[in-house]
Amino acid sequence: MSGYNYMTPEGYEKVRAELEEMKTTDRQQIASEIAEAREKGDLSENAEYHAAKEAQGLLEMRINELEKSLANVKLIEESELDTSVVTILNKVTIKNTKNNKELSYKLVSNSEADLKAGKISIDSPIGQGLLGKKVGDLAEIKTPAGVMQFEVVDIAF
């Protein structure tokens, strides 16, 4: 979606706090683990040292991802949203046309997605299939189980 990472102000704060935690606490912890492992001698056969260095690499990679994500953030207030078509931050109620089961999801950015909380990414197959739909529209969505058809029942904040 146009290179922006759309987020709510709450989602932005959550990611910013996670990034700050990684940059301060997590970096210091890994640095002390590396220093402790170095004190144990030969680094070529020191599994603790190699594990700590790998953890450091993964942490730095995650920090880099979050920094890029926050650099391209576009904050969206829910009060500014249009509910005539499905867009990011809308709560969408859909009905499976095969079994008539209704499901409700809130469409959010990748960094805010949490299926247990009913939040799915706009980049997921369901999210992509629902974007731009109106109430009453049918969305055919390719899933690992095959193509499924959903009817958009309601669009809300």
Single pTM value for the model: 0.68
Q: How deeply is 125 buried, as exposed, middle or buried, from its count of CB atoms within 10 A (0-12, 13-18, 19+)?
A: middle
Q: What is the CATH number of domain 5-75?
A: 1.10.287.180
pLDDT for the residue numbered 1: 43
pLDDT for the residue numbered 2: 53
Give pLDDT tens digits along the chain (157 positions). 457 788 888 889 989 999 999 999 999 999 999 999 888 877 778 888 999 999 999 999 999 999 988 898 888 877 777 889 999 889 999 999 999 999 999 998 887 888 999 999 998 999 999 999 999 999 999 888 889 999 999 999 8
Q: What is the CATH number of domain 78-156?
A: 3.10.50.30
Domain residue spans of the chain: 5-75, 78-156
